[in-house]
Chains A and B, each alone.
Chain A
Amino acid sequence: GAGVSQSPSNKVTEKGKDVELRCDPISGHTALYWYRQSLGQGLEFLIYFQGNSAPDKSGLPSDRFSAERTGGSVSTLTIQRTQQEDSAVYLCASSPEGLSYNEQFFGPGTRLTVL
């Protein structure tokens, strides 16, 4: 079956603009995660969804970042008034349950460049 897909694969934007990043999880997966990865580094947790609700938003770096999930499926991560330090690869992952030791299936990521 299809894996996790993300769009766009690359996004170049100007400082101050808003961007929306999309994640399509694996069908039937109830848990969805967003991470941020700076160049060649480990992953920084941003937010976790269980169904349409987000019980853990602790990783969002500022109020410019928000995310929503509708229909228990597609999720969008929105960054308002982008800054150069927002440049990174944004990864989405899904899991069949919200249990932390379950395997997380990752998408290929969206590379965001803020000029």
Chain B
Amino acid sequence: EPEVTQTPSHQVTQMGQEVILRCVPISNHLYFYWYRQILGQKVEFLVSFYNNEISEKSEIFDDQFSVERPDGSNFTLKIRSTKLEDSAMYFCASRLNSVISPLHFGNGTRLTVT
């Protein structure tokens, strides 16, 4: 069964550094998402992406964050200058279309900012 893949599984970075989290969504899916889960808290929406542009974003997704689909397969989340509070599990997800279809999630990247 096709799946969403994320790399790396764990990323450790120093505060102030830039990180790029990578995702390969399911190939025929059209909508792409990033969510995060801070330890012990709920899964929170960051951003959705469709037709090569951001379709929605949350308050968390400030100008330190950006997303890109540089080619036909990868979908990346960049954090320009990481803060301690950015430490979380970051999940990429994709869905076939926007009308009543579930999101399929990757296994996440654990980002640790020291």
Real complex partners, A and B? Answer: no
- Residues in chain A within 8 A of chain B (CB atoms): none
- Residues in chain B within 8 A of chain A (CB atoms): none
